[in-house]
Copies of this chain bind each other. A is one copy, B any other.
Amino acid sequence: MIVVLKPGLSDEDVHKVVERIESLGLKAHISVGKERTIVGAIGDERLLADQTLESFPGVEKVLPILKPYKLVSREFQKEDTVIAVNRHEIGGKRVHVMAGPCSVESREQVQETALSVKEAGATFLRGGAFKPRTSPYAFQGLGEEGLNYLAHAREVTGLAVITEVLDPRDLELVYRYTDILQIGARNMQNFKLLTEVGKLDKPVMLKRGMSATIQEFLLSAEYIAAAGNRKIILCERGIRTYETETRNTVDLSAVPLLKQLTHLPVFVDPSHGTGRWDLVTPMALAGIAAGADGLLIEVHPHPELALSDGPQSLKPKKFAALMAQLKKVAVAIGREL
């Protein structure tokens, strides 16, 4: 950590900063420049997560040198994390597509969708039983009934299931039904929930918050890892920008960037990312071309009747066409589907 001091500080003031740094267990190293004196704080600056130095008298700014996350960083573990679920490996050579409706609405809807996405090559079934909705008057999900429909579709198709958990109080219930626990964008900084899923032994897909920086995203993953669970999948799902033509702006550069910074698998959700079914296919292809380990795609047999997110759902036929194209792009960059 580099501590830049304000100009014109007395030796005594500089000494106090040095003292404070050393009291925190770091070694201080003074360097006097022409316009500023800077103090290097040598040691594990992650211990200073509270960064109290910035408000120390005489300090102009504090520049961290190291990343504030550790367990999830590429420096901590050089090899890619590969997560085994239901005979599949996530984060390996093969790209995985998790598909299904936004909300679980009925036994038939889920089963019909599951059969069609399986036939097209998807390896996981997605579907929400607990839905975080902006409006209190919108459909909030079927709850346990929905989880039952997912379980039924899993039995019928053999697809593994991924579904969202919103509340620590529902965790035990959702855990019983799902293969992967999904933490949605709105809960990326629900630290209590992160800590709870961190105590479990099932994989967790963590979606990037709507305005989360890459660093905050990785710190949230670090919460899960620090609690004990290293089976974490990251998912870029679009960030909030000033652009209104799309629901969010998919930050695809986050994919290669995350692959550099962390050893965890990285997915892309082009459905939430764009909010428009007619942009899902090109952004799915682009996501894989950018290096993503998989995709989360919303498919609904009748989008015009969907209880949520109809405008961004593909019909099964379009989804099958997407999968055919995706296979070619995956092969072109040396992967498989």
Q: Which residues of A contact B (CB under 8 A)?
A: 2, 4, 7, 20, 29, 31, 33-36, 38, 40, 42-44, 46-47, 49-52, 54-57, 63, 65-66, 68-69, 75, 132-140, 166-169, 186-187, 189-192, 195, 210-211, 213-216, 219, 222-223, 226-227, 239-246, 249-257, 260, 273-274, 277-279, 282-283, 285-291, 303-308, 310-311, 313, 325, 328-329, 331-333
Chain B nearest CB from A65 CB (Å) reads 5
Residue of B nearest to A327 (CB): B332
Partner of A310, one of B7, B52, B288: B52
Partner of A253, one of B187, B191, B216, B279: B279
* Contact across chains for A282 and B307 when beta carbons are under 8 A apart: no
If A49-B137, A239-B241, A240-B242 are given as contacts, then 16 extra A-B residue pairs at C-beta distance below 8 Å, sorted by A number, are A33-B65, A49-B139, A134-B219, A136-B222, A168-B168, A190-B190, A213-B242, A215-B245, A244-B244, A246-B253, A252-B283, A256-B279, A285-B333, A288-B289, A329-B332, A329-B333
Chain B nearest CB from A248 CB (Å) reads 9
Alpha-carbon gap, A254 to B166, bound state (A) = 29
Given contacts A167-B168, A286-B289, whether A308 and B136 have CB atoms under 8 Å apart is: no
Given contacts A35-B66, A283-B252, A286-B289, whether A47 and B245 have CB atoms under 8 Å apart is: no
The residues of B that contact A260 with a CB separation of less than 8 Å are 278
Residue of B nearest to A132 (CB): B191
* Contact across chains for A211 and B242 when beta carbons are under 8 A apart: yes
The residues of B that contact A285 with a CB separation of less than 8 Å are 289-290, 333
Q: How many copies does the complex hold?
A: 4
Partner of A55, one of B68, B134, B245, B303: B303
Chain B nearest CB from A324 CB (Å) reads 11
Residue of B nearest to A308 (CB): B50
* Contact across chains for B55 and A214 when beta carbons are under 8 A apart: no
Enumerate 27 A-B pairs (CB-CB under 8 Å) in ascending A order: A4-B65, A34-B42, A49-B133, A50-B307, A52-B310, A55-B310, A63-B63, A132-B191, A135-B219, A136-B227, A140-B191, A166-B190, A166-B192, A210-B211, A213-B243, A213-B244, A213-B245, A239-B243, A240-B242, A249-B251, A253-B274, A253-B282, A256-B279, A256-B282, A286-B286, A288-B289, A289-B329
The residues of B that contact A57 with a CB separation of less than 8 Å are 304
Partner of A135, one of B36, B49, B65, B211: B49
Alpha-carbon gap, A250 to B33, bound state (A) = 35
* A2, A52, A277 pick with most chain B CB within 10 angstroms: A52
Residue of B nearest to A58 (CB): B304
The residues of B that contact A310 with a CB separation of less than 8 Å are 51-52, 54-55
Partner of A36, one of B34, B66, B191, B254: B66
Partner of A189, one of B55, B134, B168, B313: B134
* Contact across chains for A252 and B250 when beta carbons are under 8 A apart: yes
The residues of B that contact A54 with a CB separation of less than 8 Å are 310-311
Residue of B nearest to A331 (CB): B332
